[in-house]
Amino acid sequence: MRADRLVSLLLLLQARGHVTAAEAAAELEVSVPTVRRDLEALSSAGVPVYAQAGRGGGWSLVGGARTDLTGLTAPEVHALFLLAGPGQDVSPAIRSALRKLVRALPSTFRAEAEAAGSATVLDHRRWGRAAPVRPPHLDALQAAVVARRRVRITYASRDGRAGDRDVEPLGLVDHDGVWYLLAQTARGRRTFRVDRVREVETEAERFERPDGFDLATAWEEVSAVVERARSAVETTVTLPDDLVAPFTDVLGARYVDVVDQADGRTRLHVRADTPRMLARQLAGWADVVAVEGPDAVRDELARLGGALSAAYGS
C-alpha cells in the first residue's frame, strides 16, 4: 500500500536525517522512480522534505523535523520489543510496524530496542512440569541481555550446591513456563535454568555477541540435544492406517516415524526417554496398537495391565 510506504519513507528520513533515492529504494524494496514520486508526494502534502542536487545530494527533512511517536520511555520500548522477539506468536503486520518504530526511535533507544527484539524466545514444548512462578531474577537477567552486560550469577546445581559463575548473557527462553538463560562462559556456551539462579550481580563491562549468533537457532540446538536424551528408548508398533494421525498428534510428531504400510495397517517407530514412560504412552492405545518390542517395553505394558486389572477388574 502506498500509504504504508509513505510512512516508512518518512520514518527512514527521520532516523537517518539524509538519504539518497537509491538508498531509500533499496531499504523499501521498490524502484528509484517510485521513491522519487513518493518523496515529491510528501513534499506536496506539506511534509518538510527537500532535495539537494549534485554530488552528495539526496533528500532530508527541513531542520531535522521529527514526528512524535507517543513519547515511549526506554523501559516501555524494551517491553514492547521483548514481546515480539523470535518464537513469539506475533503477526507479520506487528513485526512490520515494529521495524518502522525502530527507525523512528531516538538513537539512544534504537540499539537497545533491536537488542530486546532478539533477547527472548518462547518454546511451548514440555520437558516436565512447568515452573509455578516467575523466577525472581528474570528481570535482572533480561536487562543484562538487552544491555549486553556481563553478570555474575550464584547458581544452584541439581543437588542444591551453589557456586558463582561469570557469564555473558546471550538470551532467554521461556520453555512452557520454565525459563532458561543461554550464556557464554569461559568453558563455552552453557544453558542455565533461571529458577536455580540465587543472585545476580550486573557488571559495568559490556560484551559483544558472537558473530552470526541467533537465539532461536541456538535454542533449537540445545533442544535437539535434550530431545535426543529424552528419546533413548525406541519401540516398533503397528496400528490401523486411519489412527496414525491422531496417534501421532497425541504422542508428538518428533517421537513417531512411519516405517511402512500394508493391509490397512501402518508400522511405526515410537521413542521416549524410558521403557516405563513409553509403555504409559502406549497403554491408552492398547486395544488398537500391537507392540513388537523391545521386551522391556512389553514387560512394562504387562505390568501396567496387571495393575489396571487388579484395581478395576471384577
Cα 248 from Cα 246, distance rounded (Å): 5
CA distances from 109 to 72, 76, 118, 144, 181 (A): 10, 10, 15, 15, 24
pLDDT at 249: 87
Low-confidence ranges of the chain (pLDDT < 50): 1, 64-71, 83, 87, 89, 122, 129-131
Which residue ranges form the domains of the chain, and what is each CATH number? 2-64 (1.10.10.10), 74-117 (no CATH), 123-228 (2.30.30.520), 230-312 (3.30.70)
Taking the whole predicted model, whether its pTM rises above 0.75 is answered as: no
The upper half-sphere exposure of residue 198, i.e. CA atoms within 13 Å in the direction of its Cβ, equals: 10
Question: What residues contact residue 274 under an 8 Å CB cut-off, 6+ apart?
Answer: 232, 233
Given its phi and psi angles, is residue 8 left (phi above 0), alpha (psi -120 to 50 degrees) or beta?
alpha
Long-range contacts of 284-293 (CB under 8 A, 24+ apart): 284/250, 285/239, 285/243, 285/247, 288/239, 288/240, 288/243, 289/237, 289/238, 289/239, 289/247, 290/237, 290/238, 290/239, 291/235, 291/236, 291/237, 292/235, 292/236, 292/237, 292/238, 293/235, 293/236
Cα 38 from Cα 42, distance rounded (Å): 6
State the amino acid at position 232 in one-letter form: A
Which grid coordinates belong to 42? 510528501
Q: If you compute the radius of gyration of the chain from its CA atoms, what whole number of angstroms results?
A: 28
pLDDT at 97: 59
pLDDT at 231: 72
3 state DSSP class of 158: coil
Cα 234 from Cα 275, distance rounded (Å): 8
pLDDT at 69: 47
Cα 260 from Cα 266, distance rounded (Å): 6
pLDDT, one tens digit per residue, over 110-153 is 565 556 555 555 455 555 544 456 788 988 998 898 889 999 99
pLDDT at 182: 94
pLDDT, one tens digit per residue, over 287-303 is 999 999 899 999 999 99
